[in-house]
Amino acid sequence: MMTPQYNQNLHKELLEVGQRIEKRQTHELEPPFLTSILGTLEYYGASIEQMTLAKFDLCVAKYKIYDWLGMAYTGRYQMIQDPLASQTFFETIEKLVKLYVLMQDVGGFGWFLRGHDLDIEEPHKCEDCIKSYKGWKEEESLK
CA 68/CA 57 separation, integer angstroms: 7
Give tens-digit pLDDT for 38-53: 999 999 888 888 888 8
Going from N- to C-terminal start, the domains of the chain cover: 8-142
- In this predicted structure, the answer to whether residue 136 has a pLDDT above a threshold of 70 is yes
What distance, in Å, lies between the first and last C-alpha atoms of the chain? Answer: 50
- In this predicted structure, the answer to whether residue 2 has a pLDDT above a threshold of 60 is no
Binned at pLDDT 50, 70 and 90, residue 1 comes out as very low
Give tens-digit pLDDT for 85-125: 677 888 899 999 999 999 999 999 999 999 999 999 999 99
Cα dist from 105 to 20, 62, 136, whole Å: 10, 18, 15
